[in-house]
């Protein structure tokens, strides 16, 4: 069936344009993008009513808790949450129980995802066995089984020789390595960013320099090995010069930032609300603004939800003891639109970071609004106001820091390969 989206505001992140137009879809692919409306369209018509049509978001770094902790999040619940949030591709993390560090575990995850999720799921695999930082995984076999990248998530490979060998081997296979840039000794036990506020609250804190130290080390190893490298979250202004130098020197390096670090700051933990406990911890307002500016300039390439489900028992604890992380699949779009409403970034720039850049980094055809691209699309109203009630979230875990907040931006429909997987 031919599907025509007419009367839409088209966001093209590759061309960097926002224009009125129409999109034609056949057999799961975009076949035409037309400025203005199509004359005498034949097929099914979707009148977008002047709302915004964009490539579906590619969320790099989603935790789905299968295997091991299915009570926190399953592929079905995460997939429904993603569809409702306009995320058409989830790139999932291997920090499960057990870790996804063997072809057998990866094949189980892939099978479960294909059975249960209405959106596309691309799994990452662990870089070292058990994410313990001692022995690298069988990267080649895991790539053959479908792994799109390799990461130990928030377990930093502190043994420099092990990490150097893993990068060298990954380079020989063309594999992408994703690293968490926090110096592990300085960061151990920290739940806040060092400064007057953390001291007044009596919270163990870590200096922003811990991020810079880890990134500096990794950039040296990337220069040594020539590996493809992505930093999962850059959150401090102190780390940006190292990233800028690495890119200027031609290293194959990209970086991301979590949506919570773009929209919240360290003062939000004032009442010891554990839904605001993240890893790395929330930063000062100056760092938040620097991250937004880095995204707008293209220095930081990717925005992700860093979706990390935690059940009530893990969060209803004293701040220091509570588990880190927040869900973000359903709040990624309205949270990101905060930056647009604040006139800090335009929509094509925002969608480069949410969709085009992560797709390009992983070698995917998605993330584009061009003929020949997959028809993974999100239709949304950026101005629709609402108050978030976490009880309405599709995720099994509802640990969102945005509970009770006034947000703007609602997904109207989500399409994967031209099929509607969510409609408001």
pLDDT digits (tens, 9 = 90+) for 388-417: 999 999 999 999 999 999 999 999 999 999
Closest CA to 329 of 381, 376, 399: 399
Instruction: Give me the DSSP letters along 58-96.
Output: EEEEE---TTT-TTT--HHHHHHHHHHHTEEEEEE-S-S
Degrees, nearest 5: CA angle 8-11-16: 145
Closest CA to 102 of 73, 74, 123: 123
Examine the pLDDT at 37 and tell me if it is beyond 90.
Answer: no
Measured in degrees and rounded to the nearest 5, phi and psi for residue 116 equal: -110, -25
Mean pLDDT of 113-121: 97
Examine the pLDDT at 40 and tell me if it is beyond 80.
Answer: no
Q: At what angle do helices 103-116 and 75-85 cross, to 10 degrees?
A: 60
What is the band of 142 on the pLDDT scale with cuts at 50, 70, 90?
A: very high
Percent of the chain at pLDDT exceeding 70? 100
Examine the pLDDT at 42 and tell me if it is beyond 90.
Answer: no
Mean pLDDT of 6-29: 96
Mean pLDDT of 10-27: 96
| Sign for the pseudo-dihedral over CA of 187, 96, 216, 234 | negative
Residues 6+ apart with CB under 8 A from 392: none
Mean pLDDT of 333-360: 98
Q: Are strands 419-423 and 406-416 parallel, antiparallel or unpaired?
A: antiparallel
Examine the pLDDT at 68 and tell me if it is beyond 80.
Answer: yes
Examine the pLDDT at 39 and tell me if it is beyond 80.
Answer: no
Closest CA to 97 of 135, 55, 61, 66: 66
Degrees, nearest 5: CA angle 69-70-74: 135
Tokens of 107: 């094949």
Examine the pLDDT at 38 and tell me if it is beyond 80.
Answer: no
Q: How many C-beta atoms surround the C-beta of residue 48 within 10 A?
A: 22
Tokens of 164: 């150097």
DSSP classification of residue 353: I
Burial 382-413 (b: 16+ CB within 10 A, else e): bebeeebebeebbbbbbbbbbbeeebebbbbb
Mean pLDDT of 167-171: 98
Closest CA to 60 of 84, 40, 32, 89: 89
Model pLDDT, residue 388: 97
268-311, pLDDT tens digit by residue?
998 899 999 999 999 999 999 999 999 999 999 999 999 999 99
Examine the pLDDT at 41 and tell me if it is beyond 80.
Answer: no
Instruction: Give me the DSSP letters along 278-327.
Output: -SSPP--HHHHHHHHHHHHHTSS-EEE--B----HHHHSS-TTTSPP-B-
Mean pLDDT of 134-161: 97
Examine the pLDDT at 1 and tell me if it is beyond 90.
Answer: no
Write a three-state SS string for 3-61. EEEEEEEEEECCCCEEEEEEEEEECCEEEEEEECCCCCCCCEEEECCCCEEEECEEEEE
Measured in degrees and rounded to the nearest 5, phi and psi for residue 413 equal: -165, 150
Residues 6+ apart with CB under 8 A from 177: 127, 149, 150, 151, 166, 167, 170, 227, 228, 229, 230
Tokens of 181: 């840039």
Model pLDDT, residue 294: 98
Q: Give the H or E element holding residue 253.
A: strand 253-258
Please report, for the chain, how many H helices and E strands are present, in that order.
14, 18
In the chain the domains, ranked by start, together with CATH numbers, are 56-361 (3.20.20.140)
Q: How many C-beta atoms surround the C-beta of residue 271 within 10 A?
A: 9
What is the band of 261 on the pLDDT scale with cuts at 50, 70, 90?
A: very high
Model pLDDT, residue 419: 97
Strand partners for 117: none
Distance CA 28, CA 31 (A): 9
Mean pLDDT of 89-96: 98
Chain-centroid distance of CA 272 in Å reads 25
189-248, pLDDT tens digit by residue?
999 999 999 999 999 999 999 999 999 999 999 999 999 999 999 999 999 999 999 999
What is the band of 330 on the pLDDT scale with cuts at 50, 70, 90?
A: very high
Distance CA 334, CA 149 (A): 28
* Strands of 106-252, DSSP E: 120-123, 150-151, 176-179, 192-193, 205-206, 228-231
Q: What's the mean pLDDT when you consider all of the chain?
A: 96
């Amino acid at each position: 069936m031919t599907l025509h989206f007419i009367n839409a505001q088209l966001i093209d992140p590759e061309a960097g344009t926002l224009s009125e137009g129409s999109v034609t879809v056949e057999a799961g692919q975009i076949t035409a993008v037309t400025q203005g409306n199509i004359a005498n369209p034949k097929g099914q018509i979707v009148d977008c009513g002047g709302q915004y049509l964009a490539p579906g978001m590619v969320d790099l770094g989603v935790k789905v808790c299968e295997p091991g902790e299915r009570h926190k999040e399953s592929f079905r619940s995460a997939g429904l949450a993603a569809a409702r949030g306009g995320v058409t591709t989830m790139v999932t993390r291997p920090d499960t129980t057990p870790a996804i560090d063997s072809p057998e575990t990866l094949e189980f995850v892939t099978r479960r995802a294909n059975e249960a999720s209405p959106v596309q799921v691309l799994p990452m695999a662990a870089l070292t066995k058990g994410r313990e930082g001692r022995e690298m995984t069988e990267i080649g076999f895991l790539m053959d089984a479908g792994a799109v990248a390799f990461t130990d998530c928030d377990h930093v490979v502190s043994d420099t020789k092990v990490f150097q060998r893993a990068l060298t081997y990954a380079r020989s296979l063309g594999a992408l390595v994703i690293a968490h840039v926090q110096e592990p000794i300085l960061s151990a036990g920290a739940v806040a960013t060092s400064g007057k506020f953390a001291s007044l609250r009596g919270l163990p804190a870590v200096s922003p320099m811990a991020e810079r130290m880890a990134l500096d080390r990794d950039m040296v190893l990337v220069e040594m090995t020539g590996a493809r490298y992505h930093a999962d979250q850059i959150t401090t202004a102190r780390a940006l010069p190292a990233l800028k130098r690495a890119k200027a020197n031609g290293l194959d390096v990209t970086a991301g930032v979590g949506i919570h670090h773009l929209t919240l700051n360290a003062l939000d933990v004032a009442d010891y609300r554990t839904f605001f406990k993240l890893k790395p911890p929330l930063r000062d307002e100056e760092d938040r603004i620097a991250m937004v500016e880095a995204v707008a300039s293209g220095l930081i390439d990717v925005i992700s939800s860093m979706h990390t489900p935690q059940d009530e028992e893990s969060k209803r604890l004293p701040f220091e003891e509570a588990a880190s992380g927040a869900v973000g699949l359903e709040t990624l779009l309205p949270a990101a639109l905060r930056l647009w409403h604040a006139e800090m970034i335009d929509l094509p720039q925002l969608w480069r970071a949410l969709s085009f850049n992560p797709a390009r980094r992983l070698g995917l055809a998605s993330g584009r609004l061009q003929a020949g691209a997959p028809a993974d699309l999100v239709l949304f109203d950026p101005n629709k106001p609402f108050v978030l009630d976490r009880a309405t979230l599709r995720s099994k875990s509802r640990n969102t820091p945005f509970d009770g907040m006034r947000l703007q931006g609602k997904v109207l429909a989500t399409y994967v390969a031209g099929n509607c997987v969510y409609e408001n």
